[in-house]
Amino acid sequence: QVMVASRNYAYFANEATFEIKKCDLHCLEEGPSTTAVMTREEGLHYYKTMQTIRCMELKSDQLYKQKIIRGFCHLYDGQEACCVGLEVAIKPTDHVITAYRAHGFTYARGVPVREILAELTGREGGCVKGKGGSMHMYTKNFYGGNGIVGAQVPLGAGIALACKYFGKNEVCLTLYGDGAANQGQIFETYNLAALWKLPCIFICENNRYGMGTLVERAAASTDYYKRGDFIPGLRVDGMDVLCVREVTKFAVEHCRAGKGPI
């Protein structure tokens, strides 16, 4: 005799609470909570988005090696928790600008995989009609995908200035890599952003290598979250989507409260 039990979602909890790592803080008395609540729907959404980005990037890697994707191709596999954690903590009306490793953010901001792959392969059906390729992808409130190392950081501050000028309660996520963290234009941008209290969140995605050079060989200090000096900072585990989400929520509240950049 065989008994078959029918199971449905009623047997499972709708949400769960997770312990997350405590952040290192700079110029802050308190940081984000060390617990995070995630619903079933959120968990499925995060997993599906990260898995889709991973599959898309692995296929892009294959197409690049087959010379179907030509020119440059900067992949985002291994960093999926960063863009997903950031995206789910902001509003669609908020703004994002990043460097050339942009495929994951392009998808998270709403561009279909088909359009991203079409763009990578130089087709008219791409998100910028095949003219941008791997490095230059755009969509509403997403400003690329920028090829010059670190040059997107002052642009991000300009977007944040526009948000403040027009009285919009919006923020701009301005991303760069550890390889760009030593650029002089970044420190100039920090100065103006702090001076004008711009709603700008500066984010260094530290994957430990800039153009193949290990961070310790390129930077006298690798504590990038302290680089703003007079700007508050946090160091977070970028491999944990919940850590990234909670820190981003904390940073967004900081900016929306008129406290300036972080």
Break the chain into its structural domains and give their ranges: 15-257
| Residue 5 in this model has a pLDDT that exceeds 60 | no
- Answer yes or no: is pLDDT of 7 > 80: no
pLDDT, tens digit, for every residue of 98-142? 999 999 999 999 999 999 999 999 999 999 999 999 999 999 999
Is residue 231 within 8 Å of residue 192, measured between CB atoms? no
Q: How far is Cα 193 from Cα 154, in angstroms, rounded to an integer?
A: 9
Q: Please, which residues bridge with residue 213 across strands? A: 210
Least confident of 10-24, 27-41, 193-207: 10-24
pLDDT-derived band at 182, boundaries 50, 70, 90: very high
Cβ(204)–Cβ(211) below 8 Å = no
Long-range contacts of 72-77 (CB under 8 A, 24+ apart): 72/100, 72/133, 72/134, 72/135, 72/147, 73/120, 73/134, 74/100, 74/101, 74/102, 74/103, 74/134, 74/135, 75/101, 75/103, 76/101, 76/102, 76/103, 76/104, 76/105, 77/53
pLDDT at 9 over 70: no
Can you tell me which residue has the tokens 């596999």?
A: 77
Confidence class of residue 211 from pLDDT cuts 50, 70 and 90?
A: confident
pLDDT level of residue 13 (50, 70, 90 thresholds): confident
Structural element, H or E, at residue 164: helix 152-165
Tell me which fold the domain 15-257 belongs to.
Answer: Rossmann fold (3.40.50)
| pLDDT for the residue 3 | 54
Instruction: Work out the average pLDDT over 183-191.
Output: 97
Query: What is the average per-residue pLDDT within 148-174?
Result: 97
Mark out the alpha helices in 4-67 (DSSP H runs): 40-65
223 pLDDT tier (thresholds 50, 70, 90): very high
Q: 185 vs 4, which has greater pLDDT?
A: 185
- Give 21's DSSP letter: P
Measured distance CA(148)–CA(176) in Å, rounded: 11
